[in-house]
Structure 1
Amino acid sequence: MSDGLSSDLEDTLQQHRRGSDTAGTLVVSDDETYVGDTLTFNGRNLPANERYELQWQTTDGRWGVLEANEVVGAQYHPRTETIATVRTDGNGAFDETWTVEQDYGGSHRVEVVETDGTTVASASVTILPHFELGNTTAQLGEFFTITGYGIGPNVVTNNYQVAWDNGNMGFMTGVMNRGTATARIRAVGPPGKHVLQVWRNYRGVPYLQNNTQSPYGPVAGGRQSQWTVEVTEPDAEPRTAWLDDRLDENPISIHYPDVDTDGSDAELSITPSSGQPGTTAFISGEQFPPNEEVDLIWYRHEGHRVKGIPITPEPIPDRLPTVTTDDEGTFQTEITIPASEGSTRPITAAVDGEEIAITGFMMQPSIETFSPTSGPVGTTIEIELSGVGWPIYENAPYFLYDNKPLGYVCGLSDDDGGGIVRLELPATGQPGWHFIDAYPCIFEMQEDEPDFELRPHLSYLDNHPVRPMPAYHMAFKIEE
């Protein structure tokens, strides 16, 4: 201790002295950049022949979700990455080039850091968002693909809207995947030239002064955000009813009922662990009492959040069989997955009325009915969907007709409807093919901004909360 200073304060002063002795200069070739561009970092006025790390200050993003059900909102936390290791020359200088990796837009601090963690020089770089169109031509009923880079996390810049022929289709966001998002836009008719455009606004609808008078500058910092595309006649008739490819999934155990299995060694499993209604599955049991009847019990989630009825897993009798274990206390039985609400469907095994083991099946959505597939204007199209989930982020598929927003459906009620969502739509438009798409949406979110609620989530493929939800796709032909 010197001059009556505490040891902690003396250490702090020494650090400042060391910092002033070794403080250097870092200059970046561009103050503003895009993902995929190359930057040059010029370090100067540093000690000669020393090793340093170039550290990139950024964030990680995810959806805040409570109990795998209620969406809080987009959540971000700091992240630091070492993007290069450099060594100064005899003059205390270095030059390093780096290609900007996929990351969130906004300002990023770059630091030159010693081996002991001391920062000796720094600079800032701003990543601007931009969008790329994968194809400018698509057959009627196929898709155009838009990929956004450098999205968010700022509340203004993590919600971009896509318009087709000046109609607002829905939003893209880069909450996950480090600011990168993908949207597939249906090529709807008539064949010929159409316009795709990306807008920006935290309220979830396009702010039409984006590119003329916005305080945040143009949508993509000067890069293209509007494209003229061409829809061509199809080589074959479009598919009339299908879903995106589904992934193999596992049930979410937090959605199981509260069953006390601590005193039991019994194990219950199901193969496969996910699929649509009608899937053939095998339920297996081990370490059950030998030569005993086992009741298999199917659960659905009942309740109604709008009516204030809590949503809870409730047993449904007679959906699954009763089986008998063998001398080793094992069994296996084949079942057909019944139609029911989507998401986790708990299954328990009971002996003498006591549930002693539990597993679950991840129910995925299905188009049960789409009929008819052609007819004159005004024809009533009947649609039945099953496997629409009860959690917030999968409860309300949002329908578009020829890329125009129509409305949403709800996948849960307080009666035993068998998990089937039914709706009727009138066929409209000129003679030829017309397209109905239902995208996942976030029905409700605790945070108000940006406004992601009750809008088609076009970047659901790589940015939807919790589960990789598919979209529904349908086609109807208007006949004269």
Structure 2
Amino acid sequence: MDDETGVSGSLRETLKRHRSGSDSDGTLVLSDQEGYVGDTVTLKGRNFPADEEYEVVWNSTEGRWGVLEANEIVGPQYQPRTDTIATVRTDDSGEFDEEWTVPEDYGGAHRVQVQTGDGNVVARSEFSITPWFEIDRTEAPLGEAFTITGYGIGPNVVTNNYQVSWDNGNVGFMTGVMNRGTATAEIRAVGPPGEHVVQVWRNYKGVPYLQNNTQSPYGPVAGGRQSVWTVEVTEPDESPRTAWVDPLLDEQPMSVHYPELDDDDTEAQLEISPTSGQAGTTAFLTGTDFPPDTEVDLIWYRHEGHRVKGIPITPEPKPDVLPTVTTDDDGSFQVEVAVPREEGSTRPITAAVDGREVAVTGFMMQPSIETFAPVRGPVGTEIEIELSGIGWTIYENAPFFVYDNTPLGYVCGTAGDDKQGTVRAKLRAAGEPGYHFIDIYPSLFDMQEDQPEFDVRPHLSYLDNHPVRPLPALHMAFEVTEG
């Protein structure tokens, strides 16, 4: 109903909100409504009160992987996030101009708001980030790598899964779940020497959608920026390395994978140094606050079971692996041990007194190449590969073999009693005479959410976007000789 002034109640409420600053009190216009990470945009404020200070706020999301007990992968999870990107003051005309560089962030639409000091939004606009990709070089010697970096990836289910192809073969996928939509992938420079084609594709199904750049409702990959490169592979100055693992990080074991102690009320403490490494690492086990002059049994644990067969995977003691020690008058000990071959992830170690486990620590087992033989031979040569330190957890359970940038298949890291933590595979040498490369990438064995489809595919952005831990890849070079 209109009041005696002729103003409706709804209009009065609108005017009231406007005067209180809870709705738009000014105008915010961006020089561009869409663009790329790294672009410079001008924020233009108009129609504000003169000589007033405001904060400009960027609305986005923060991404992570949903993981249960450092094992089961739920899928990508995103939460709202706000950042203050500028503090501005209007001039005598109630205006401001502020240059701003688009930060590394997820693709898609983002709200940009002007707020008063007490948080009232007085103007708003929107900016959309378009994903794009760059390659570090277009020429590399045989065996080295081209690095592709993607910006503005995700979080939309369609735009958080990009695939990389080499000579029209799908190598694997890269995603920007973490690191605010930025991801990197290394693609091996494989033979023969000469020109090759690298291309980035997009599809939530995890395989290239060939209409990306012709009929996709989401527009071309990278919004029209370059997403395909002709690169040149050159003859190397020296022979490639035979077998190597990515640089390993210093890691800590995960207590969620420890067994329960028989008695956790004691003061006894057990520590290991270093806390991570490969099979064969020399480590020191140190115990303190144990009973003095007492024998202590050190017990190594493996995780045993079979996920596919429905046998639960649980930590099982292996008491014959580590020594029994005797504490000194202060109840302390230190012993040097060689870390055995075993499956990867956290290897629990307990200390038992009179048959009761009273202290626990752990060693983060990292992957290593135990056998790669032979290293040369004619086409058809059977190549034997043995790996250790491949974990039982879903995020590291299925390392994927790629031969000359062509995916071949995966192995399983769940150990059995006869394996001693070693994963074995055999494959045949193929290709023209010269060097050929086997790259073993992390993958996700299973994911609870159906989309996007990340399951059992080479994860090329494993170093900066893999769940739980940045796992290393493993690499080998085989020389095919004349028959």
Is this a same-fold pair by TM over 0.5?
Answer: yes
Secondary structure in 1 matching 2:63: strand
Specify whether residues 121 and 323 from structure 1 end up closer, same or farther in structure 2 by C-alpha distance, changes over 3 A only: same
**Cα displacement (A) at 1:17:** 4.0
Specify whether residues 20 and 113 from structure 1 end up closer, same or farther in structure 2 by C-alpha distance, changes over 3 A only: closer
1:153: which partner in 2? 155
**Cα displacement (A) at 1:12:** 9.9
Secondary structure in 2 matching 1:141: coil
What do the CA deviations read for 1:173-221 (whole angstroms, capped 9, x no partner)?
0000000000000000000000000000000000000001000000000
**Contact (CA 8 Å) 1:22, 1:47: kept in 2 or not?**
no
Secondary structure in 1 matching 2:464: helix
**Cα displacement (A) at 1:259:** 1.3
**Cα displacement (A) at 1:260:** 4.2
1:58-457 aligned at under 5 Å gives the runs 58-457=60-459
Amino acid at match of 1:358: V
State the distance in 1 between where 2:258 and 2:22 align.
Answer: 59
State the distance in 2 between where 1:13 and 1:288 align.
Answer: 74
State the distance in 1 between where 2:442 and 2:230 align.
Answer: 27
What do the CA deviations read for 1:283-309 (whole angstroms, capped 9, x no partner)?
000000000000000000001000000
State the distance in 2 between where 1:416 and 1:31 align.
Answer: 61
Percent identity among equivalent residues? 72
Amino acid at match of 1:90: D
1:475: which partner in 2? 477
State the distance in 2 between where 1:17 and 1:260 align.
Answer: 67
State the distance in 2 between where 1:312 and 1:379 align.
Answer: 38
**Cα displacement (A) at 1:15:** 3.8
**Cα displacement (A) at 1:261:** 4.0
**Cα displacement (A) at 1:11:** 10
When the two structures are aligned, how many residues end up with a matched partner? 472
**Cα displacement (A) at 1:14:** 4.4
**Contact (CA 8 Å) 2:24, 2:124: kept in 1 or not?**
no
Secondary structure in 1 matching 2:392: coil
Specify whether residues 262 and 317 from structure 1 end up closer, same or farther in structure 2 by C-alpha distance, changes over 3 A only: closer
**Cα displacement (A) at 1:16:** 4.7
2:51: which partner in 1? 49
Secondary structure in 1 matching 2:226: coil
**Contact (CA 8 Å) 1:295, 1:321: kept in 2 or not?**
yes
**Cα displacement (A) at 1:461:** 1.1
Amino acid at match of 2:230: T
State the distance in 2 between where 1:177 and 1:267 align.
Answer: 36
**Cα displacement (A) at 1:258:** 1.3
**Cα displacement (A) at 1:334:** 0.3
Residue 28 of structure 1: which of 12, 27, 30 is its match? Answer: 30
1:7: which partner in 2? none
State the distance in 2 between where 1:263 and 1:41 align.
Answer: 61
Specify whether residues 21 and 171 from structure 1 end up closer, same or farther in structure 2 by C-alpha distance, changes over 3 A only: closer
State the distance in 1 between where 2:22 and 2:356 align.
Answer: 72
What do the CA deviations read for 1:128-147 (whole angstroms, capped 9, x no partner)?
00000001111000000000
**Cα displacement (A) at 1:120:** 0.5
State the distance in 2 between where 1:429 and 1:45 align.
Answer: 69
TM-score normalised by the chain length of structure 1: 0.97
Secondary structure in 2 matching 1:392: coil
State the distance in 2 between where 1:383 and 1:435 align.
Answer: 13
**Cα displacement (A) at 1:262:** 2.8
State the distance in 2 between where 1:91 and 1:379 align.
Answer: 79
Specify whether residues 20 and 448 from structure 1 end up closer, same or farther in structure 2 by C-alpha distance, changes over 3 A only: closer
2:460 matched to 1:458?
A: yes
Higher mean C-alpha displacement, 411-420 vs 162-171: 411-420
**Contact (CA 8 Å) 1:186, 1:403: kept in 2 or not?**
yes
**Contact (CA 8 Å) 1:60, 1:79: kept in 2 or not?**
yes
2:7: which partner in 1? none
State the distance in 2 between where 1:127 and 1:392 align.
Answer: 32
**Contact (CA 8 Å) 2:263, 2:356: kept in 1 or not?**
no
Secondary structure in 2 matching 1:394: coil
Runs (4+) of structure 1 moved beyond 4 Å? Answer: 10-14
**Contact (CA 8 Å) 1:343, 1:363: kept in 2 or not?**
yes
**Cα displacement (A) at 1:224:** 0.1
What do the CA deviations read for 1:250-304 (whole angstroms, capped 9, x no partner)?
0000000111443200000000000000000000000000000000000000010
**Contact (CA 8 Å) 2:22, 2:121: kept in 1 or not?**
no
**Contact (CA 8 Å) 1:169, 1:403: kept in 2 or not?**
yes
Amino acid at match of 1:103: D
Secondary structure in 2 matching 1:320: coil
State the distance in 2 between where 1:365 and 1:31 align.
Answer: 47
Amino acid at match of 1:33: G
**Cα displacement (A) at 1:417:** 1.3
Specify whether residues 22 and 226 from structure 1 end up closer, same or farther in structure 2 by C-alpha distance, changes over 3 A only: closer
Amino acid at match of 2:429: A
State the distance in 2 between where 1:320 and 1:302 align.
Answer: 18
**Contact (CA 8 Å) 2:106, 2:180: kept in 1 or not?**
yes
State the distance in 2 between where 1:20 and 1:407 align.
Answer: 57
State the distance in 1 between where 2:298 and 2:199 align.
Answer: 53
**Contact (CA 8 Å) 2:276, 2:364: kept in 1 or not?**
yes
State the distance in 2 between where 1:43 and 1:151 align.
Answer: 29
Secondary structure in 2 matching 1:126: strand
**Cα displacement (A) at 1:163:** 0.2
**Contact (CA 8 Å) 1:22, 1:46: kept in 2 or not?**
no
